[in-house]
Amino acid sequence: MAEVMRIRLDWKQKTRRGFDWQPWFRGESDSGWPTALQPRLYRSDEKIGKLLYDEQEMRLDFRRCGPQLSGDAQPKDAWEWYFVMQHYGAPTRLLDWSDGAFVALYFAVRNCTRRKKKVDAAVYMLDPWWLNAQAFKALPVRKKDRPAGVALPGWDEAKAYLSDDEFDSRRLGPRIPLAIDPSHVSRRLAAQRSRFTIFGREKDGLKSLGDDKKARLVCVPVTNASLRGIQSELKIGGISESTVYPDLEGFGRELNSAWQRRRLRDARAK
């Protein structure tokens, strides 16, 4: 956490951000993943055109079949349906972030007990204002007329990344990902303090930006030796499966994990 605070202070001083500015965080359980910082849809060797066609079909199916499964909290537009798709495991061009460092750290270490090999985890830090400044450079407007800050679904600049018409999905133009604040249409989104980057046509849109030494996108390693200790500290701090997934499914997984730990402890005691 000390390293996170140091980086945050450095970025804030360089950019003179306001009091309410916060970096975003993303936890990944393997710092060596070749698909690091890629959305699920793009973790494939398929060509972009084929992936966008597949996503178009999935969006149509999700909108067609989802209402019967979503209860009373029905998404109201294409963006809300897309956010819900992401949080329930469908492949999209969205990449999960959180403005809570401990939430991201939890996702980095939550599966460490099931590891078959010793690898380090990672927490990525991103300045979403910096990212959008790169994305907005491509807009055909003068510099002084460019928007600033984290995008909202209703912004004109966001429309190029997700059309209201699913049949326009393959006409995607932007290259650089966009940082966007989601509507909290589910308790999971709120509990995880969810933020998103939505990708354009480039699979490695974030990693390619991160190669620049001036980029405000960094990886904070979490060593394998520290994983179990961090997991215990997060539990004491109230960050657990049922708090980041505040539903019966998350609570069930938490009970199962506790039961598995007890079985392992009892087996070792014999």
Where are the extended beta strands (E) located within 4-47?
24-28
pLDDT at site 143: 78
Per-residue b/e over 133-167, b at no fewer than 16 CB within 10 Å? bbbbeeeeeeeeeeeeebbebeeebbebbbbeebe
Rounded CA separation 56/155 (Å): 22
Rounded CA separation 26/5 (Å): 15
Rounded CA separation 6/23 (Å): 12
pLDDT at site 170: 58
State the alpha helices, DSSP H only, in 127-226: 128-136, 156-159, 187-191, 205-210
Q: Using only the alpha carbons of the chain, give its radius of gyration.
A: 19
Rounded CA separation 61/10 (Å): 45
8 A C-beta contact, residue 71 and residue 53: no
Q: Three-state DSSP class for 95?
A: strand
User: For the chain, how many helices (H) and strands (E)?
Assistant: 11, 6
pLDDT at site 189: 84
Neighbours of 208 (CB within 10 A): 14
pLDDT at site 103: 93
8 A C-beta contact, residue 183 and residue 153: yes
- In the chain, the amino acid numbered 58 is M
pLDDT at site 141: 73
Return the structure tokens found at 40. Answer: 């699920």
pLDDT at site 196: 96
Q: Domain residue spans in the chain? A: 2-238, 240-270
pLDDT at site 149: 87
10-residue mean pLDDT profile of the chain (270 residues): values are 80 72 91 90 90 89 78 78 89 94 91 69 93 86 81 89 67 85 84 92 86 84 86 87 86 85 77
